[in-house]
Structure 1
Amino acid sequence: MIQIFHGAGSGASRKLLQDALSKDKVAGHEIRTLVGDKLTPRDLESTLYTASLFSTESIVLENLLGRLRSKDKDTCITMLVNYQGDKNIYLWDKKEITAPNLKKFPSAKISNSKAPTELFAFMESIYPGNVSRALSLLHEVVTGTEDIIVFTMLARQISYLIMIQSATIPKFSPWQMDKLRVQASKWSSKQLSNFLSELLKIDFAIKTGATKLSYTDHLDLLLTSLLR
């Protein structure tokens, strides 16, 4: 049996995974977790077809489906789709997986945890003079959504506002466009460019190990500075 847990609401999807694993533990299953974004076909084959002498295994593969496409990834997916053994397989990803990737698992049970409404409220709260509200929503959102997802969506939101100001129209419904125009009108183009530049600096610093602060820590400092 294969189950897939994904979606922008990573906290909720993680809880669904843990609930499923708890049931397996009660049934006497041994839980084995593999890092999907570094998984090789050889390691997966060994895990799938090596039997435990004492119990049935449940296998958790984290962030395999959201991994960049590669020969190893494609081979691993093919192996999973063709697997006929008795081990329970759980695929968990910290973001929403595209429909083409999900269609590769026609027999899988799929749970998509949507982003919480607070996340969209947070995006709409990003404008000068609204620092208290924005920080409150930020800390509410990161309790149920991974901070890197919040960070990525914020960078995308600022990019949309820059597009609106430059008369480049994103493909949104009229009501979404109205909200973006109102939000963009509260910023100068220089402020938005600086905002996006600071976000890129934060992302680079975290990914290169130049800072020990988390995305949430950096957003705390940045929003306090820019939304006063």
Structure 2
Amino acid sequence: MIIFHGDNLVVSRQRLTQETKQFSGEVIRLNGRQANLDQFQQALEASSLFGQKKLVIVEDLFSRPAGQEKDKILTYLKQPTTANLILWEGKTIDGRRLAGFKNAQVEKYLLPATIFKFLDSLGQNKKVSLYWLRQTLINEPAELVFFLLCRRVGDLIIAADLGASGLDKMAPWQKSRLVQQTKNFPLKRLVAVYGKLLEIDWQQKTGQAAYNLPATLDLLVASL
């Protein structure tokens, strides 16, 4: 069993893709938020239709709301097994929740601190933002930075429009940070920036961008 988790979704997805491509046999995918215990048992225990080896990939099981079915599934998965099983989680899993998976190969992928310093600096000091952007791009792909920038601007739009009440799924400290950051960005300005991000995305995907993505990000941040 392999468990991939952490907030660096790009790298953890790459590892999942790598493992999948290297596997020769039938690949079965289960939605961890919805699949029941019977489906897990069927996927892991039933013989393959063509006698092939099987790889079972389960996504976001730990993000599933608490309940008896989830508890039953986790108890079942903690039992010794020879099945090829990968659990992929799009967030960091508390180490205490992994304690029962004694034979699992656990790989955690975290975003670098520089990327959060870049995102948190937006709207405060342009030179500082550019510095942390360039530091981040030394080791991280521009696509990841662009994705997180889009997400941050989207969150700021919600915070500017609805306040902390619109960020109900976030921790209190995250809500406070975002609401504070909106003081540097009027809502109208944030919407305009988001529109520019959509334009950049379209240009990059259609090959119509004047510059590559790192240079485009640099120019965008310089204009904020």
Give TM-score, length-normalised by structure 1. 0.60
Letter in 2 for 1:63: D
Partners in 1 of 2:85 and 2:41 — Cα distance?
13
Partners in 1 of 2:123 and 2:107 — Cα distance?
34
Higher relative contact order (CA closer than 8 Å, sequence separation 6+): 1
Deviation string 1:185-215 (CA, Å, 9 cap, x unpaired) is xx7xx827977xx89xxxxxxxxxxxxx99x
- Give 1:9 deviation, angstroms: 0.8
- Give 1:107 deviation, angstroms: 1.2
Instruction: Quote the residue 1:75 is aligned against.
Output: 72
- Give 1:76 deviation, angstroms: 0.9
Aligned pair in 2 of structure 1 residues 141, 24: CA closer, same or farther (>3 Å)? closer
Partners in 1 of 2:67 and 2:110 — Cα distance?
27
Given that residues 118 and 141 in structure 1 are in contact (C-alpha distance below 8 angstroms), is that contact kept between their aligned partners in structure 2?
Answer: no
- Give 1:75 deviation, angstroms: 1.0
Partners in 2 of 1:10 and 1:31 — Cα distance?
21
Partner of 1:110, secondary structure, is strand
Partner of 1:82, secondary structure, is coil
Aligned length: 178
Alignment of 1:56-71 (within 5 A): 56-71=53-68
Partner of 1:143, secondary structure, is helix
Instruction: Quote the residue 2:94 is aligned against.
Output: 98
Letter in 2 for 1:3: I
Partners in 2 of 1:7 and 1:62 — Cα distance?
13
Instruction: Quote the residue 1:191 is aligned against.
Output: 183
Partners in 1 of 2:57 and 2:21 — Cα distance?
13
Alignment of 1:33-48 (within 5 A): 33-48=29-44
Aligned pair in 2 of structure 1 residues 150, 97: CA closer, same or farther (>3 Å)? farther
Aligned pair in 2 of structure 1 residues 141, 133: CA closer, same or farther (>3 Å)? farther
Instruction: Quote the residue 1:16 is aligned against.
Output: 15
Letter in 2 for 1:14: R
Alignment of 1:213-224 (within 5 A): 217=198
Letter in 1 for 2:73: C
- Give 1:142 deviation, angstroms: 7.1
Structure 1 stretches of 5 or more lacking a match?
163-183, 200-212
Partners in 1 of 2:130 and 2:52 — Cα distance?
51
Partner of 1:37, secondary structure, is coil
- Give 1:82 deviation, angstroms: 1.5
Letter in 1 for 2:11: A
Moved more, 150-159 or 56-65: 150-159
Given that residues 60 and 92 in structure 1 are in contact (C-alpha distance below 8 angstroms), is that contact kept between their aligned partners in structure 2?
Answer: yes
Structure 2 stretches of 5 or more lacking a match?
157-166, 168-172, 202-219
Q: Find 1:160's aligned residue among 155, 158, 177.
A: 177
Given that residues 7 and 94 in structure 1 are in contact (C-alpha distance below 8 angstroms), is that contact kept between their aligned partners in structure 2?
Answer: yes
Letter in 2 for 1:114: L
Instruction: Quote the residue 2:85 is aligned against.
Output: 89
Given that residues 124 and 184 in structure 2 are in contact (C-alpha distance below 8 angstroms), is that contact kept between their aligned partners in structure 1?
Answer: no
CA RMSD of aligned residues (A): 4.2
Give TM-score, length-normalised by structure 2. 0.61
Partners in 2 of 1:147 and 1:95 — Cα distance?
14
Q: Does 1:50 align with 2:46?
A: yes
Deviation string 1:91-117 (CA, Å, 9 cap, x unpaired) is 001111111211121111100001134
